[in-house]
Chain A
Amino acid sequence: MDKFWVVAKREYLERVRSRWFVMMTLFVPVFITAIFLIPAWVTARSAAGTGSRNIVILDATGTGLGKRVSAILTSDTTAAQRASAATAPQPQVREVTAAALPAAEDSATREVMRPNNVVGYLVLDDSTLSTRRVRYAGRNASSIVDTDKLKSAVRQAFTAVMLQREGVKPETISLISNLSLSMSQTRIDERGKGGSGQAAIFLGVGIGVLLLMSIIFHGQNVLRGVLEEKSTRVAEVVISSIKPEMLLAGKVAGAGAVGLTQQVLWIAISAYLITNFAPLVLKSAGVPVSGGGGSALGVSLGGLTVGLFIVIVLYFLFGFVFYASLLAAAGSMVNTEQDAQQAAMPIMYLLIGSWLFVNSVIVNPTGTIAKVLSWLPFSSPIIMPMRMGLSPVPWTSVAGSLAVCALGCVLAIWLAARIYRVGMLMYGKRPSLAEVARWVRYA
């Protein structure tokens, strides 16, 4: 057992000391922060944008619809924009007759084509009233944010005009048109109300991604490490001092510990960066921020209980041990990096294959696919924590699935150790499947 720790210690220290580890540990959180903040920044930026206001409204309806649209566009501002509202452009409403409309459109087109002028024009005419058709032409015609804003402004104005015609009081109309709705989602299970549904999805998918990433990075590292020992021929000295099974176990444990260390650092650094940079970024986009950036982005881990946390850690360990042992065996069978990638393929298919079903599990966490995949040892580490985050799972199922998973690990280690024992000293051409099967039988 002492030697197991010697191997695990070397594996851990050498990897943590490597430049690659330091770079990945710093780069990934920056990347994650960017993924969080750039879309938030873009959205905030366009929400604060005034593109939808710097336009000409050609109103041929004769109902004052254009003026109402203009008023709504102008009043549709957030607190931050209100400060700059004085300098922001106002829509220019031009009430024209139906006959003069084509000429007005021509001149508006020319205005848009001139630089630093209005960005587009909106046409409201008889067809707007009869068939609810609106036309818009402009530089920002493909901006979903701007056109959505215009559409909703027209809808609101249209509703107001209709209500006015029906004789509704102006105060009621203004109340209706400014009605804004917010909905909070809360999940309910046997234990009562839980965290928000979104947090559960975030948690479930997050765990899956972390496991997937650590198997891909660190599992592959085990494979590469085994290959290195083989190609530098240091393997023979090492195996003359320690049982191959113990060596394999030590390597997997060391690499797994590196993975855990890296993930803890990733999460900690990302959380730090996001909470500290989110307010800055959002402020630069013109959005006022109160409180922490994390809550501004709607992230919370409310659904995480101690029990769930323990189960997640168990699945993580089992999943890593299962895949890393098999990858180590794959590494011991071959002599070159290319052959190693090929030998690792079937194992990676199991992993990626499980991941492909994530979507259907999120959509239907109690469905047959989700249930079956949360029992198979190669997919349960990814699927089960996600399922548990999404919907309640009876503890008997969790315990059973964990037991199957542990059994799968024992089998994987047994198989890997036998392949490893023979493979480590085999040089020459890549063995066929039949040969590997023979190794397993005779080792």
Chain B
Amino acid sequence: MHDNDLAIDIRGVTKRYEEHVAVRDLSLQVPRGAVYGLLGPNGAGKTTTIRMLLDIIAPDAGSIAIFGRPNRESGLLNRVGYLPEERGLYRKMQVRRVLRFLAELKGLKAGEADKRIDEWLDRFGLKTKERDWGDSKVDELSRGMQQKVQFIATLIHDPDLVILDEPFSGLDPINAQALKDAVVELKRRGKTVVFSTHVMENAERMCDAVCIIARGEKVLDGQVTEVRSSSGRRNVALALVGNTAARPSENGVGQVLGDRQLVRHFDDNNRYFEIELAQGADAQDLLHRLIQAGARIERFELILPSLHQIFIERVGASNVETGMSGHG
């Protein structure tokens, strides 16, 4: 087996639909063993890209390779695990049978599948001394349990590449934590994980590299640290004692922040402000002015702009809104 260093190599891919272009001339490379984030507003073309990657739909132009081989090659997708955004299982089927079916579809032998199913059910607390949920129908499981089963189905065949479409949507904090742990463990084992999200915090926390797409086009991509420093800017995180941050204009702080000479833009995060300094402005000046204005400072920190800031800046808030109606 001759594998490439890239887990995914998408080149010049375009997908047109009747009324619009879902993905336009998109190229992106995901190195092996990376945790990669596909970021974009709803309707940006994330799901379309993922579906083309999985050969569910065919691109109109461009090429897609997985582990250096064309993704249409038979058997190749057996090495890929996929968790779609819209999740569901056969409702009337026994959990164990659903999992065996999905595992067999990925080329696993029934005996091996059964062994792994037991391990996974055990690990996710779906098989305890009191109750083995594997023998229940999918219907009888709670939503959280169904999500676990779905996640088992994604990983049961021990894929080398795991693709998760909006994996955090609809997860409670406990399952979200379990998912995060699972991703980290996959990376430790040398697997490649690609996930799409429009929640930048998740991406910032977990991803080695990201690609931001909007309106079907790539806006930027690269290592997360590179992306954050590439803007050449440094931002300031400012938190004030008490909950004064909510109404800065009342205590003179607002006047400082409103000074266009000093501050280009600020974003009220409620707990703290993310402040983008104006061209040529010095953070020390800002600190000085703030103290003069009588601000009681709890936190003053030079930070890289968050992915969220970059995202808003590059994609534009209006785009996020218009993108809401479409389907990614």
Contacts and interface: CB of A to CB of B under 8 A. Distances in A.
A425 B93 contact: no
A438 B18 contact: yes
B156 to A, nearest CB: 11
Contact of B88 (A7, A232, A242): A232
Point out which of B51, B105, B106 has the most chain A C-beta atoms below 10 A from its C-beta.
B105
B91 interface: yes
A197 to B, nearest CB: 48
Contacts of A14: 90, 92-93, 97
A232 B56 contact: no
A234 B106 contact: no
A232 to B, nearest CB: 4
Nearest to A6: B104
Contacts of B91: 228, 232
Contacts of B86: 233, 236
Contacts of B54: 240
A237 B153 contact: yes
A21 to B, nearest CB: 13
B101 A6 contact: yes
B307 interface: no
Contacts of A240: 54-56, 77, 80, 82, 84
A241 interface: yes
A236 B105 contact: no
B107 to A, nearest CB: 7
B105 A6 contact: yes
B89 A232 contact: yes
Interface string A226-257: 00110111101111111000000000000000
Nearest to B102: A237
B101 A236 contact: no
Interface residues of A, number: 22
A194 B1 CA distance: 65
Contacts of B104: 3, 6
B57 interface: yes
Nearest to B89: A234
A234 B18 contact: no
Given A14-B93, A425-B51, A438-B18, A238 B105 contact: yes
A234 B88 contact: yes
B105 A425 contact: no
A332 B57 CA distance: 15
Contacts of A241: 77-78, 82, 102, 105-106
A423 to B, nearest CB: 12
B143 interface: no
A3 B18 CA distance: 32
Contact of A425 (B57, B88, B89): B57
Contacts of A425: 51, 56-57
Nearest to A238: B105
B247 interface: no
A2 interface: yes
A37 B99 CA distance: 47
A232 B83 CA distance: 14
Interface in A38-62: none
Given A6-B104, A240-B77, A241-B106, A234 B90 contact: yes
B314 interface: no
A3 B77 CA distance: 13
Interface residues of B, number: 28
A64 B297 CA distance: 133
A233 B84 contact: yes
Contacts of A438: 18
Interface in A1-52: 2-3, 6-7, 10, 14, 18
A10 B56 contact: no
B299 interface: no
Contact of A242 (B18, B80, B105): B105
A217 B4 CA distance: 50
Contacts of B88: 231-234
Interface string A403-443: 00000000000000000000001000000000000100000
Contacts of B55: 240
A4 to B, nearest CB: 11
B260 interface: no
Nearest to B106: A241
B107 A2 contact: yes
Nearest to B108: A6
B3 to A, nearest CB: 21
B105 A232 contact: no
B237 to A, nearest CB: 40
B102 A239 contact: no
Given A241-B105, A425-B56, A236 B89 contact: no
Nearest to A233: B88
Nearest to A7: B105
B87 interface: yes
A3 B89 contact: no
Interface string B60-101: 000000000000000001101011101111111100010001
Contacts of A231: 88
Nearest to B104: A6
A72 to B, nearest CB: 66
Nearest to A435: B18
B90 A232 contact: yes
A234 to B, nearest CB: 5
A85 B274 CA distance: 111
B275 to A, nearest CB: 43
A3 to B, nearest CB: 6
Contacts of B82: 236-237, 240-241
A244 to B, nearest CB: 9
Given A3-B105, A6-B101, A236-B82, 4 more contacts: A232-B90, A233-B87, A238-B102, A241-B105
Interface of B: 18, 51, 54-57, 77-78, 80, 82-84, 86-93, 97, 101-102, 104-107, 153
26 contacts: A2-B107, A6-B104, A7-B105, A14-B90, A14-B92, A14-B93, A14-B97, A18-B92, A228-B90, A228-B91, A231-B88, A232-B88, A232-B89, A232-B90, A233-B87, A233-B88, A234-B90, A236-B84, A237-B153, A238-B102, A240-B55, A240-B56, A241-B77, A241-B106, A242-B105, A425-B51
